[in-house]
Amino acid sequence: MKDYEIINLYWERKEAAITASADKYGDYCHSISYNILHNVEDAEECVNDTWLGAWKSMPPHRPERLSTFLGRITRNLSLDRFKKYTAEKRGLGQTTLALSELEDCIPDKSSVEEIVDEQILVQKLNDFLYAQPEQKRNIFIRRYWYLYPIKDIAAAYNISESKVTSLLFRMRNDLKTHLQKEGIYL
Residue 26 and residue 106 share a domain: no
Mean pLDDT in each 10-residue stretch from start to end of the chain (186 residues)? 94 94 96 91 95 93 92 92 64 61 61 59 87 95 90 95 96 91 75
Total tally of structural domains belonging to the chain: 2
- Structural domain of residue 55, as residue ranges? 3-92
Percent of the chain's residues with pLDDT above 70: 81
Residue 63 and residue 23 share a domain: yes
Separation between Cα atoms, residue 53 and residue 67, nearest integer Å: 14
**Nearest by Cα to 25 from 90, 75, 60, 61:** 75
Residue 138 and residue 66 share a domain: no
Query: The domain that contains 120 carries what CATH number?
Result: 1.10.10.10
Residue 177 and residue 108 share a domain: yes
Q: What local confidence, expressed as pLDDT, does residue 119 receive?
A: 72
Any domain includes 64: yes
Task: Name, in order, each residue with C-beta under 8 angstroms of 160's C-beta and a sequence gap of 6 or more.
Answer: 154
126-155 pLDDT, tens digit each = 899 999 999 999 999 999 888 899 999 999
Distances from the Cα of 168 to the Cαs of 27, 98, 134, 161, 171, in angstroms?
27, 10, 14, 11, 5
Residue 88 and residue 8 share a domain: yes
Any domain includes 159: yes
Look up residue 91 and give its amino acid: G
The H or E element spanning position 182 is none
Q: Which residue, 49, 65, 92, sits at the end of a domain?
A: 92
Query: The domain that contains 74 carries what CATH number?
Result: 1.10.1740
Q: Which residue, 74, 92, 110, sits at the end of a domain?
A: 92
Q: What local confidence, expressed as pLDDT, does residue 16 receive?
A: 95
Residue 111 and residue 84 share a domain: no
Q: Which residue, 49, 67, 92, sits at the end of a domain?
A: 92
Separation between Cα atoms, residue 33 and residue 47, nearest integer Å: 7
Q: Rounded to 5 degrees, what are φ and ψ at 18?
A: -70, -45
Q: How far apart are the first and last CA of the chain?
A: 45
Any domain includes 186: no
Q: Do 98 and 143 form a contact (C-beta atoms < 8 A)?
A: yes
Q: What local confidence, expressed as pLDDT, does residue 14 receive?
A: 94
Residue 80 and residue 53 share a domain: yes
Q: Do 166 and 55 form a contact (C-beta atoms < 8 A)?
A: no
